[in-house]
Amino acid sequence: MENDYANRTSYFEIVENRNNENLQLGYDYRETLMEKSLSNYFFGDTKRINIIKEFNSLMVYLIDSVKNIKKTFVYSVPRNSRNIN
């Protein structure tokens, strides 16, 4: 029984974050980061498209890693939060 309390989310956290679901999250760049930043010339060949998709996943990883550094030094944001720009 004691483990159930340790694994569930706190009621205080639920109440605190109930309005933060969709507020000020910005543009979701994860799927279209390279498409929006490169010229349409690069998307003409199928070989290039596969390479660009790999670069897209790499760039998203790098941006998210910077956000983790940002969350480390901002003590008011929980570490598991994805609501940081």
pLDDT for 40-80, tens place per residue?
888 888 888 889 999 999 999 998 888 878 777 777 776 66
Domain enclosing residue 22, as ranges: 2-73
pTM over 0.85: no
Burial class (CB in 10 A: 0-12, 13-18, 19+), 34: buried
Is the Cβ–Cβ distance between 74 and 57 less than 8 Å? Answer: no
Instruction: Give per-residue burial for 3-30: e unless 16+ CB within 10 Å, then b.
Output: eeeeeeeeeeeeeeeeeeeeeeeeeeee
Residue 48 lies in a domain: yes
Residue 83 lies in a domain: no
Q: pLDDT of 3-47, one tens digit each?
A: 555 566 667 767 766 666 556 667 788 889 999 999 888 888 888
Residue 10 lies in a domain: yes
